[in-house]
Amino acid sequence: MERTLMEHAGFDLAMIGLLALICQWLAWQLKLPAILMLLVAGIAAGPVTGLLDPDAMFGELLFPLVSLAVAVILFEGSLTLDFRELGGHGRTVRRLVTWGALITAVIGTVAAHLLLSLSWEMASVLGALLVVTGPTVILPMLQTLGARQHLTQILRWEGILIDPVGAIGAVLVYEYVALGSGATGAATHTLVLFGKTALIGFGLGIGGGYLWGLILRRHWLPRQLHSFGTLMMMLTLFSISNLLFHESGLLTVTVMGAWLANMRGVPTRPIIEFKETLSVLLISGLFILLAARLTVDQLALLGWPAWAFLFVLLGVARPLMVWVCTLGSQLDIREKALLAFISPRGIVAAATASLFSIRLEEIGMPGAEMLVPVTFLVIISTVVGQSLLSRPLAGWLGVRRPSPDGVLIIGANPVARQIGQQLRSAGVSVVLTDSNWDAIQEAKALGLTTYYGDPLSEHAAQHLELSNIGYLLPLSPYRELNDLAALHFEHLLGRDRVFRLAVDEGRSANRPHGQALSHLPLLFGRDVTYARLSRLVAEGGELQRVRFDEKTRLEGQRRRHDGRWLPLLSISQSGRLRLATAENGLAPKRGDTLVSLVFADSPAFDTPLMS
């Protein structure tokens, strides 16, 4: 019997994982934040159909599991909080994540108290929770928004930075309220308990973060164990902190992550990439389980007061905080209106609301049952409404940018660097990405914009600026990376703006993604492989530009170089980019700038071409 129950639980977990995968895929296809699909699936599996009952499945283990999962999510978020970025993206962003967060929390608290009839303690927890937007919900929206670049930058960095900043604030408010509810003495006793929590949380977080940072910085641990070791150390400190003082662990891990992110010489990027994968796993399963815990009685609590609270949060708090935080900026009223409209809530709000609700209900806090349904109402309403309406609103306000013509180049090798230089010299925005540190440094020395790391990672999704990117050129020596990048960015940029690179005939049969890429145009030609381009550049070939004065100039250039010449792309006077492909070749027009690779043995190699 016991074995049967265990097998049944294992099957349920596997089905939750499969459902989470389907939700992630649907979100990718529909270009919607994954959290929306996960919450809808959880509600359908839980209160709607009754197929999933997390409390019956996990019993007393539910709270520890949720607590550990939230600890990992908060740690991963705080690990991205670089204080140099907080001050390096303009006064508006800095204000939004500090004073703006405070304004939203205060208005949310007052509205929750007056409209939802919550005590000031519970209202303050809800107000603090709903400050956070988060990159997982805002970034997919920005990819389809098409707003002016500076507006996209503001929203993007607000979402990235408010995640850990808001999490720290929410945890602090929760700790204070939870301690106050369990205290039998006066408010002074609550403050003493809160001070003890803060002392343990900040002390263990800073101390543990510093010591572990030393271990990583001095390589006292093998590199392959950095990610695993960091996870274990984080969970250990979380458990020790909770043993020393109940519920102080969340603050400890959040502070630890922020400390590691700002400690010099600590290699956090591999750790972040590992945590990203782990967070996807935890978030996907966690939100289906949390949404499934909603009951019909909780959903019934969402009457007109909850909708009125939502209106105040979106129609009063957000516009007011945007107006205050943009005073003295160069933004006009239409740009401010778009910023005031977009503020979707996300993963941190949902995870912490569920965890706080479980704990506060255990200690008998009145109104704790409202925390989860109201938070989920705000999340679903903002994600759905703003995903559907933000793009039309940007067009109606006249703040959309023209179709982007920037170029993302996969690779920072000599071939990619030469093409990047020519594009930049012609006025085209270009970004080179590579995981080779030396290649990135050489590209930076040439004044090129770069991204160091995996362009397909979650970190890249948050930190690789794509708002001005319209084309993808796969110029890495790694065929698999080129193909995966083409598949990944086709979904974002469109089929006609993503290219594939030819491979040698002997290797094409072993190309894993060959069939999936067959519809994409071949960049530069059927026989132009990375190996050939690299060899030509290594032999002394150079990329040069020439201004076209007549239609027949292309054939004239070919005769001039005796065929020792390869046309790559042209740029019109208006800045439009045309790339040579095996399917369409290249047909520059009068006034265009032609960029071509001149071979080292061309008879006209030393002749300056640019007129």
User: Which burial class, exposed, middle or buried, applies to 404 when counting CB atoms under 10 A from its CB (0-12, 13-18, 19+)?
Assistant: middle
Which residues in 460-509 belong to E strands, given as ranges?
469-474
Task: Tell whether the model's pLDDT for residue 160 goes beyond 60.
Answer: yes
Distance (Å, whole) CA 516 – CA 271: 31
Three-class SS of residue 577? strand
Specify the pLDDT at position 110.
93
Specify the pLDDT at position 1.
43
DSSP label at 44?
A: I
The string of pLDDT tens digits covering residues 90-145 is: 688 888 888 888 999 999 999 999 998 888 888 988 898 888 776 667 777 777 77
The string of pLDDT tens digits covering residues 210-226 is: 998 888 888 888 877 88
Using alpha carbons, select from 104, 149, 178, 599 the residue that is nearest to residue 358.
178
Q: Which residues pair with 433 in a beta bridge?
A: 410, 451
The 10 Å Cβ neighbour count of residue 328 is 9
The encoded tokens of residue 267 equal 């290699």
Task: Decide: 228 and 271 in contact? Cβ < 8 Å.
Answer: no
Distance (Å, whole) CA 449 – CA 266: 23
Provide the mean pLDDT of the chain. Answer: 78
Q: Are strands 577-579 and 542-547 parallel, antiparallel or unpaired?
A: unpaired
Residues 6+ apart with CB under 8 A from 504: 529, 531
- Mean pLDDT is highest, among 308-322, 423-437, 550-564, for 308-322
Specify the pLDDT at position 131.
87
Task: Tell whether the model's pLDDT for residue 28 goes beyond 80.
Answer: no
Specify the pLDDT at position 161.
72
Residues 251-264 as b/e (b if ≥16 CB within 10 A, e otherwise) read bbbbbbbbbbbbbe
- pLDDT band (50, 70, 90) for residue 6: very low
Distance (Å, whole) CA 602 – CA 604: 5
- 578-581 contact pairs (CB < 8 A, 24+): 579/471, 579/473, 579/499, 579/521, 579/523, 579/524, 580/523, 580/524, 580/525, 581/499, 581/521, 581/522, 581/523, 581/524, 581/525
Its sign, for the CA torsion 184, 190, 195, 200, is positive
Least confident of 125-134, 203-212, 512-521: 512-521
Specify the pLDDT at position 316.
92
Distance (Å, whole) CA 409 – CA 593: 20
Edge to edge, what strands does the sheet with 430-434 contain?
Answer: 449-452, 430-434, 406-410, 469-474
Q: Which residues pair with 523 in a beta bridge?
A: 581
Mean of the pLDDT values across residues 488-495? 76
Residues 6+ apart with CB under 8 A from 309: 111, 112, 115, 116, 374
Distance (Å, whole) CA 475 – CA 409: 6
